[in-house]
């Protein structure tokens, strides 16, 4: 029988992070839930405890190296090590690149690139120090490989994460640590709800471009993460699994589109 593991989930207060925590939660399992504020995961913490897991919730700003290091040290000491990390926290805002505010651009870099790097580095150091194999799964988004108009900062930073995943997989392989990515497409979450609950054209255009015939649910992503983190994936590292219902088969679905025949118009409208 496989010994219960210790899991760290960042962005645990979001729908994808929460769905993954619920999937991992079971008797004997140890869960560390990270989010910007511990209050964001209060209900989730109780729910996971009811499922039999031992749970530790920590408020962690992943752009702050000291906070990340302290949180990982706390988990390592409390649970005698870490076996799995799901680096899920992220940030995204719509804006044309020509109009992208610098502070918003920097926020994408700080959260998506630097923050994810700091979490992965700190957890990997803990795994290496204790000489125990482990698994790291990073939420890179389908934007890592397919560009979406008006999400230039988001896609750029997610593409950088995909390269980080490959680099970590290569460098950590000798320590028995596997590193992989999931590439969610359009998932129905709080982040996408303003768009999906807006003009009906948005939902229709996205559904029309999704061979599975529906949009994704958080548990669709959680299932892929659970597989990559499991012993059943012990010979899989350095890969990215699309979780998009086939949306990227014909290119990334677009939220917005423009008519390129109209030069210098800069007019973006709901994709149809």
Contacts of 88 (CB under 8 A, 6+ apart): 9, 10, 11, 12, 14, 16, 17, 20, 139
Locate 14 and state its tokens. 């979001």
Query: Measured between alpha carbons, how far is 61 from 59 in angstroms, rounded to an integer?
Result: 7
Among candidate residues 7, 91, 154, 256, the one labeled active-site is 154
The reply to whether 7 belongs to the active site is no
Can you say whether the dihedral through the CA atoms of 220, 222, 227, 228 is positive or negative? positive
Spatial separation of the C-alpha atoms in residues 52 and 27, rounded to whole Å: 4
DSSP 2: P
Strand partners, 137: 86, 180
Encoded tokens for 234: 């012990």
| DSSP, res 3 | P
Residue 20, burial from CB neighbour count under 10 angstroms (0-12, 13-18, 19+): buried
- As a whole number of angstroms, the distance between CA 139 and CA 25 comes to 19
Residue burial 117-143, b: 16+ Cβ < 10 Å; e: rest: bbbbbbbbebbeeeebebbbbbbbbbb
Whole-number Å distance between alpha carbons of 117 and 12:
17
Which residues form the catalytic set?
Answer: 154
């Amino acid at each position: 029988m496989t010994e219960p593991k210790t899991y760290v989930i960042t962005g645990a207060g979001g729908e994808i992070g929460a769905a993954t925590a619920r999937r991992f939660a079971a008797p004997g399992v140890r869960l560390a839930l990270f989010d910007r504020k511990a209050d964001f995961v209060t209900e989730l913490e109780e729910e996971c405890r009811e499922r039999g897991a031992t749970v530790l919730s920590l408020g962690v700003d992943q752009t702050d190296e000291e906070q990340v290091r302290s949180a990982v040290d706390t988990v390592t000491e409390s649970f005698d090590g870490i076996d799995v990390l799901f680096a899920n926290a992220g940030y995204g805002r719509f804006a044309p690149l020509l109009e992208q505010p610098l502070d918003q651009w920097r926020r994408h870099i700080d959260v998506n690139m630097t923050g994810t790097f700091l979490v992965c580095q700190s957890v990997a150091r803990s795994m290496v120090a204790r000489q125990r194999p482990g698994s790291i799964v990073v939420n890179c988004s389908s934007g890592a490989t397919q560009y979406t108009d008006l999400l230039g900062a988001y896609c750029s930073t997610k593409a950088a994460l995909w390269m980080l995943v490959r680099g970590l997989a290569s460098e950590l392989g000798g320590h028995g640590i596997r590193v992989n990515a999931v590439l969610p497409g359009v998932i129905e979450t709080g982040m996408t709800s303003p768009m999906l609950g807006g003009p009906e054209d948005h939902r229709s255009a996205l559904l029309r471009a999704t061979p599975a015939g529906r949009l994704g649910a958080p548990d669709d992503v959680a299932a892929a993460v659970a597989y990559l983190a499991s012993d059943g994936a012990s010979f899989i590292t350095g890969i990215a699994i699309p979780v998009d219902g086939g949306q990227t088969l014909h290119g990334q679905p677009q939220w917005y589109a423009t008519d390129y025949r109209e030069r210098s118009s800069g007019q973006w409208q709901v994709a149809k």
